[in-house]
């Protein structure tokens, strides 16, 4: 610090000279002061600058903290306002009380679509880029899994509904047949051989459902597909009686009749469409090959919708079950089933959408109609 003898006016001039860049020697000569005095004045200036910078930094830090504090206060005020709003709402809120369903179980009918097995057709794993394979061994495994899945889902659905009746809809194309020349070479069996093996697969399956589900009744309505026909083109007259599907259904009905089994009832086909009544609803069954679709926008739904509307002018149905298109698809008044064979070489050729091997399952409710849809995935 400056010595006591150094007056304020001289100290200010020395500070000005130092600020102007004059040397300590010239300043000593100008004011007749010692080197120590000049040094003390210079150190005093530096100390003042440092203190000023410290004060400025503190002010900056304080300003930042103040700004952050204001933001935090604003956030807390918003949370407080939300709390106040909710608190005010809760003061008047009266929660709805949901009571458990009273009374016993409801009632429903299980609907199972059995369709498009193409039992003796082969699908080469390499030819479909590894997404599917199908042969006689795989067909048997998928069929076994099918019956097990039906029994399991019926058991699950019975936790809330009484299910005394199972409708097993045989919707056609259970055998692949020889409708195309290539099938004479690529099929694993001849059509008559396939008929016997499909028959042998259906008998234990239907018996399994009777035993495992303990159903009081199995209704088996049948329709014929297009692959099992024995004619070059599908006929209008006797369209059912000229197919291997029809033969399988006749054999099944006669076998169970011979066994004296009263819990199973067959509804045998006489044409392309079979009608049944579930509760107060009319159900239409058809294979689906009588619907013309050439890959337009909207998919098969649009030609299907047109067909259903035309059929309804003759005999109205509340709901419809179909196969043929190897597609698990549903609408407000129809359910289309997937296939047992799954994705094959023909699907690639026609640019069909990939779907795994599956069959359809759902419930028919006496009041609400179709509900509880479960695709049975078999791949």
Q: Average pLDDT, whole number, for the chain?
A: 89
pLDDT for residue 249: 98
- Give the pTM: 0.75
pLDDT in tens, 279-332: 999 999 999 999 987 666 677 889 999 999 999 999 999 999 999 999 999 999
pLDDT band at 64 (very low <50, low <70, confident <90, very high): confident
pLDDT in tens, 198-248: 999 999 999 999 999 999 999 999 999 999 999 999 999 999 999 999 999
Out of 4-18, 107-121, 273-287, 316-330, least confident range: 4-18
Residue 62: φ, ψ to 5°: -65, -40
Residue 92 has pLDDT above 80, yes or no: no
pLDDT for residue 19: 74
Residue 54 has pLDDT above 90, yes or no: no
Share of the chain above pLDDT 70, in %: 90
Q: Are 240 and 270 in contact (CB under 8 A)?
A: yes
pLDDT for residue 1: 46
pLDDT for residue 2: 44
Q: Are 354 and 131 in contact (CB under 8 A)?
A: yes
Question: How confident is the model over 160-170, as a mean pLDDT?
Answer: 95
């Amino acid at each position: 610090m400056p010595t006591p003898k150094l007056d304020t006016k001289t100290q200010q001039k020395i500070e000005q000279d130092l600020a102007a860049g004059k040397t300590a020697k010239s300043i000593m000569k100008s004011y007749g002061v010692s080197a120590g005095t000049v040094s003390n004045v210079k150190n005093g200036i530096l100390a003042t600058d440092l203190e000023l910078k410290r004060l400025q930094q503190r002010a900056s830090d304080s300003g930042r903290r103040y700004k952050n504090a204001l933001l935090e206060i604003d956030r807390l005020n918003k949370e407080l306002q939300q709390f106040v709003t909710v608190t005010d709402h809760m003061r008047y809120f009266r929660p709805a009380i949901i009571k458990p369903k009273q009374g016993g179980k409801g009632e429903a009918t299980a609907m199972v679509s059995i369709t498009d097995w193409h039992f003796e057709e082969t699908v080469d794993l390499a030819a479909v880029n590894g997404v599917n394979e199908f042969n006689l061994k795989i067909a048997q495994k998928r069929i076994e899994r099918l019956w097990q899945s039906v029994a399991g889902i019926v058991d699950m659905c019975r936790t809330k509904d009484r299910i005394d009746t199972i409708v097993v809809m045989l919707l056609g194309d259970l055998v692949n047949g020889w409708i195309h020349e290539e099938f004479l070479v690529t099929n694993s069996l001849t059509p008559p051989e396939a008929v016997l093996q499909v028959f042998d697969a259906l008998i234990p399956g239907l018996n399994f459902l009777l035993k495992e589900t303990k159903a009081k009744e199995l209704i088996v309505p049948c329709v014929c597909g297009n692959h099992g026909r024995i004619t070059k083109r599908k006929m209008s007259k006797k369209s059912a009686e000229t197919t291997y599907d029809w033969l399988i259904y006749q054999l099944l009905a006669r076998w169970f009749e011979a066994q004296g089994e009263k819990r199973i009832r067959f509804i045998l086909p006489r044409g392309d469409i079979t009608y049944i009544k579930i509760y107060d609803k009319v159900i239409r069954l058809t294979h689906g090959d009588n619907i013309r679709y050439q890959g337009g926008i909207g998919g098969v739904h649009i030609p299907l919708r047109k067909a259903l509307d035309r059929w309804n002018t003759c005999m109205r149905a509340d709901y419809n079950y179909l196969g043929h298109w190897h597609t698990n698809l549903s609408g407000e008044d129809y359910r289309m089933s997937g296939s047992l064979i799954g994705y094959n070489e023909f699907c690639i050729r026609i640019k069909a959408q990939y779907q795994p091997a599956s069959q359809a399952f759902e419930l028919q409710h006496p009041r609400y109609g179709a509900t509880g849809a479960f695709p049975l995935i078999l791949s």
